Amino acid sequence: MTRKGENRPAGHAHMPSDVTREVSFFDRFAAGASKFFSRAWFFAMCLLLVLIWAPSYFLIGDLDTWQLIINTATTIVTFLMVALLQNSQARSERAIQDKLNAIAEGLADLMKSGARHDPQLDHDLEELRDAIGLEDRESS
């Protein structure tokens, strides 16, 4: 297994030991926003906003302006939330994949010792080694 700072062949899997503990400001912000947006009280605030907006028609009087207010507000919030949540989701997927690669690498090392006596285990070992880093070689 390669450790931090060592060169890795092209296409080789990213492993948890390669990950630095430093998280960028944006990643920390996106993680915090994800926690904020996933709380029940945030949903309650959104519901309250709609409940306050709905009767505001009688104060505004113009249907187009009334609709434009809620459409603009929800579009801006949705646009920003999608960007932040996508960042959190992508980082989570990478972390899960790195963990799976580490487990597969460890299992492959363990299988290697028993593969000398079992041809099927040797084949399974090759398949497992091929699966490590597959996420980097697979296209949609």
pLDDT tens digits for 81-97?
Answer: 898 888 888 888 888 88
Q: How confident is the model at residue 23 (pLDDT cuts 50, 70, 90)?
A: confident
8 located within any domain: no
Model pLDDT, residue 1: 38
11 located within any domain: no
Number of folded domains that form the chain: 1
Model pLDDT, residue 55: 92
pLDDT at 13 over 60: no
Model pLDDT, residue 3: 38
102 located within any domain: yes
Domain span holding position 75: 25-137
Encoding tokens for residue 9? 């062949």
- CA separation for the pair 131, 124 (Å, rounded): 11
Model pLDDT, residue 47: 92
On whether the CB atoms of residues 31 and 88 are closer than 8 A, the answer is yes
List of residues 6+ apart from 80 with CB closer than 8 A: none
pLDDT, greater one: 26 or 48? 48
Q: How confident is the model at residue 11 (pLDDT cuts 50, 70, 90)?
A: very low
6 located within any domain: no
Q: At what angle do helices 63-114 and 40-53 cross, to 10 degrees?
A: 160
Encoding tokens for residue 48? 């309250």
Rama region for 4: left / alpha / beta (φ>0; ψ in -120 to 50; rest): beta
12 located within any domain: no
How many residues are present in the chain?
140
- CA separation for the pair 78, 56 (Å, rounded): 22
Minimum mean pLDDT range among 8-12, 20-24, 75-79, 111-115: 8-12
pLDDT, greater one: 140 or 102? 102
Residue 40 is given by DSSP the state H
